[in-house]
Structure formats: structure tokens, C-alpha cells
Amino acid sequence: MRIGVIGTVGHLNYVLNGIPVLDGVELVAAAAGTPNEDLGRIRAHNAFSDETIFYDDWMTMLDKADLEIVAVCRPYPMNAEATIAALERNIHVVTEKPVATTFDTLNKVEEARAGSSARLTTMFGMRFEPAFRAARKAVEDGRIGEPVLAAGQKSYKFGNRPEFFRNRDTYGGSILWVGIHAVDFVRWVSGLDYTLVTALHGNAAHPDYPGCEDHGGILYRFANGGTAVINLDYLRPEGAPTHGDDRLRIAGTEGIVEVIDAGSRAVLLRGGATEDLPLAESVNLLVDFVGDLRGGPSHLIEPYEATYVTRLALMAREAADRGKILSLPTPPGQSKVFGQ
């Protein structure tokens, strides 16, 4: 399969790391996502080869490189433009999240996906981590009974953030970039959809980046009447042992499952005992996606979820901006995440 890359922003390694381990898959083309972007990150990766052609313009690459898959990793508000262009050419897309940063552009992505024979997925990487997969299996197997309360966390060091993080129009907001991971993994692990949302966010410690909220909280109602709480921040100390601190706790009618230790362990609390859940090997997103395209097991991200979960995060940002409680759209043909 012939793969191309547009830009290097974000989690591009989800794609680059998968290419060398897949038979018959090669990186044939790459283009900058913005003018004068340095593509050295691609040249330095072992997915790069003498066969990789670099294009000055990504639209030209889409037209001339005969691609089957393209990875889109531009500054976040720019992802939708390239995604739509690829889908219109029936090229499968792996896009950085968020898929879009406005409702208007998200609607246009959904229209392009509906009219294309190509598949769209996004970089919800937490689904592929062993601890989150173990927690989901415990819930799916009924080991905590019915989930009724969930708490998810995304906490990062601020570090050195790109210039485009300074403004909402060029960044999109931290609920869309940081919080969306937890919006997705709480829903996916619990097996429940959301029906209502409200949220708060703000900037307390990074006034030079007024468009980048450094803290926030989201409150969702589950479809079964339960509650989900998500907190996100850029307040993790620079001296902390890991860049991020991902956590999840789901309490059910018969037990509790937790992802702890910066997302590296999954434990079950039930009947007075604590059990470390067995972890499978990590799964690469591109490998999983290509396996589905080749007729193997279904990709962990269902076809509708790239845009639907983005809409859930956009609704949370809207609720925070407006100080409102908002009703959420139901997913297409779904009432629960499990049993798809």
C-alpha cells in the first residue's frame, strides 16, 4: 500500500512506526503541512527510504503520488481541509485529532466522508494502549456490573508549545487537543454514550498563550443516567517523571476498574480484593487500520467515530464558552458503544 504524509504536527509516529512492520506498505510521498515546514523528522525515521518523494505542495502530492492512504498532521484547524481533499480523491485518511475545530468544517468532513469510498480514522491513540484495552475488556466482560460513574484525566507538562497554540483560531482549544483523548477513552472503555454536557475551562498559568486553556473540566451524563467527569490540564510539573499523567476510574454496581500509574497499569477492585489486570501488547494504530482495510478484524475506531467523537468534544468546548448545559446528538444507529 502506498502511503503519503502531509505535515509533521502531533502524533505522526503512529503512522511512521507502523510502516516498517507492515508487508507491502511503503512511504512513497511526503509534503509540508504549512509553508517552509521542516520535514527532517520524516527523513530521520526508518519509514523513510530512497523511494520517498518530497513535494512542495500537498495538493500536488494528492493528485500525483497515486496514494492509497494519507496521514494528515497539520496545525489542528488545517486538518479538515486536507482530509476533505483526500476523501474527495477516495484516498483513505489517518488524521491527527481534532478532525476539525469548528462545527462548519466538521460538517464538511462528514459530507466528504459520506460521499467517498475511502475510510477515515483519527489518532485516538489511547484505545491502543494495553491498560485501556484491559480496562475495556473488564467492563465488557461484566466484571464491574453496570458502569455508573467515570472519572478521566489528561495532564501534561506545558513545555515549549508551537506559536499556533497562542490563539484560539489557530489552535482550537485544549478541550479539542487534550481533553478529546479522555472524551474518547471514557466513552470507549465504559461502553456508554453521552447525552448531556457542560464544561468549564480557563488559562491561569500561561498568559502568553491566551488561546490555549491550561485547565478545564467536562461533565457528561451517560445514556444510562450515570455521570462522567473529565479533567484536563497543562499544569504537570516539568520535573515529573513522565510528560503526561493519564488516569481513568470507572465505578460500577459490582466493582471498580482503574487505569493508573500514568496509564501503565489497569486494576480491578471487587469484593474486597485488588487485581492487576493482564495487559496485552500495545497495538499500532496504522497496523490495525491497514489490517481492517485488507479484510481483517475491524479497526478499533469505528467508521463514524472520528467525526462523532470530535463533535462531542466540540459540544463540550461550546458548553464551556457559553456556560450552558447542552444536549448531545445520538451516534448513528447506536445506543451503546459495546455491541457494534
Q: How high is the pLDDT of residue 280?
A: 84
State the fold for domain 127-282+303-327.
Dihydrodipicolinate Reductase; domain 2 (3.30.360)
pLDDT tens per residue across span 245-300: 999 999 999 999 999 999 999 999 999 899 999 998 889 999 999 999 999 999 99
Peptide bond into 98 cis (omega under 30): yes
Torsion of CA 70, 71, 75, 77, to 10 degrees: 60
Residue 5, pLDDT > 60, answer: yes
User: Integer distance in angstroms from the first to the last C-alpha of the chain?
Assistant: 28
- Mean pLDDT over residues 9-37, rounded? 97
Q: Quick one: cell of 196?
A: 448531556
User: Please, what is the Cα angle at 183 between 119 and 90, to 5 degrees?
Assistant: 10
Percent of the chain at pLDDT > 90 equals 96
Q: How high is the pLDDT of residue 334?
A: 58
Q: Which class would CATH give 2-123?
A: alpha beta
List every span in the chain annotated with CATH 3.40.50.720.
2-123
Q: Please enumerate in sequence order all residues whose Cβ is within 8 A of that of 116, keeping only pairs 6 or more positions apart, or say none.
A: 87, 88, 90
Q: Which of 150, 141, 161 is nearest to 186 (CA)?
A: 150
Q: How high is the pLDDT of residue 308?
A: 98
CA 69 to each of CA 86, 151, 290: distance values in angstroms, whole numbers, following the listed order: 9, 35, 9
Residue 68, pLDDT > 80, answer: yes
Confidence of residue 332 (pLDDT cuts 50, 70, 90): confident
Cα 225 to Cα 105: distance, rounded to the nearest angstrom: 31
Q: How high is the pLDDT of residue 281?
A: 85
pLDDT tens per residue across span 79-95: 999 999 999 999 999 99
- Mean pLDDT over residues 156-168, rounded? 97
Confidence of residue 340 (pLDDT cuts 50, 70, 90): very low
Round the average pLDDT of the chain to a whole number and report it: 96
- Mean pLDDT over residues 2-20, rounded? 97
Residue 339, pLDDT > 50, answer: no
pLDDT tens per residue across span 169-207: 999 999 999 999 999 999 999 999 999 999 999 999 999
List every span in the chain annotated with CATH 3.30.360.10.
127-282+303-327
Q: Which of 95, 285, 87, 264 is nearest to 176 (CA)?
A: 95
Confidence of residue 120 (pLDDT cuts 50, 70, 90): very high
Residue 128, pLDDT > 80, answer: yes
CA 78 to each of CA 16, 38, 98, 258, 268: distance values in angstroms, whole numbers, following the listed order: 20, 17, 10, 35, 41
Cα 316 to Cα 6: distance, rounded to the nearest angstrom: 28
- Mean pLDDT over residues 319-337, rounded? 85
Helix, coil or strand: residue 224? coil
Which amino acid makes up residue 298? S
pLDDT tens per residue across span 95-109: 999 999 999 999 999
